Amino acid sequence: MYEVAILNVTGYAGLGAALLVEQHPDLRLAAVSGRADAGKQLGTVFPFWPGANLRIEEQVPPVDLVLCCLPHGAAAGAVAPLLAAGARVVDVSADFRLHDIGVYRQWYGEHPAPDLLDRAVYGLPELHAEVIAGASLVANPGCYPTAAILALAPAIAAGIVELSLIVDAKSGISGGGRSLTLNNHFGEMDQSVHAYGIDGHRHLPEIEQELSVLAGSPVDVLFTPHLIPMVRGLLATCYARLRTPIARDELINLYREYYASAPFTRVVDVPPRTKWCSGTNYCFVQPALSHGGSHLVAMAAIDNLGKGAASQALQNANLLLGLPERAGLGQTPVYP
């Protein structure tokens, strides 16, 4: 039984991770932190909490595994001493996702622990399972990059599309976290959809980084995220011009072969819906052809708090600890 600590358990990702750890057969939740609620019992802050009523601390000890759900900028400094003490870490923030320190500075500012960047592995198991298994620090991907990369990876890896890409993605408002802002205020969001980050979203360099590695050369991505009036769920619709024509059946088979050993990514024949994966670690992908067959239209649906955050962190934890990849992640969707 491995002992697990969670940093920032009172956020959506932290609480989601704690709930998953609580039902995991090989993990024990040993400690949790949350500065604003430090000193309170977990069951007091969340009366529905089903497990041991842990006291929320300001810091956690270096246990076997730490799931860090702090915001970017705060995460790196917090996990550095835990790594030094021998803990393994899955970081849900953006602090270790970008390999190039110059790109990180461009989007986030100065890095709090640049010496750790070389140790970090980008934690998308469908692409990097083997290196995740041997790592000590895993950078959990962002929600938008998870969906976009999984939608496009088979086509990019096979070289069937041009490398100028469009990603149009829509997310539920929980992606903005628990803190109330004008953008996630009910009166502003209800019955309304809006785009944001038109001049550049921080998930863009992640998408370009991973797809460029797959392509073997730089890709150019036009990325537009949107907020939609639902709590959770994310749909990415991605467009790319085909280099040569391809039959629909051949395209679907290419995708199915690529994800044949991926337990949580399912290739489907119809446009995926976010409700199919609500509360789960699944990603549903459909590769389709535009009218006339000149373009790939690849869609991916995930739960932005599941495969886009907490449950993917547990999937990475399983790989880090040498546990079955599916362990503790058998949730079925809440449907309808």
Catalytic residues: 143
Q: Which residues contact 173 (CB under 8 A, 6 or more apart)?
A: 183, 184, 189, 227, 228, 229, 230, 231
Q: Do the Cβ atoms of 68 and 309 come closer than 8 Å?
A: no
302 beta partners: 234
Query: Which of these, 278, 262, 271, lies nearest to 311 by C-alpha position?
Result: 278
Q: Do the Cβ atoms of 234 and 289 come closer than 8 Å?
A: no
Amino acid at 204: L
CA angle at 125 for the pair 141 and 147, rounded to the nearest 5°:
50
C-alpha to C-alpha distances, 336 to 174, 266, 276, 299, nearest whole angstrom: 19, 19, 9, 21
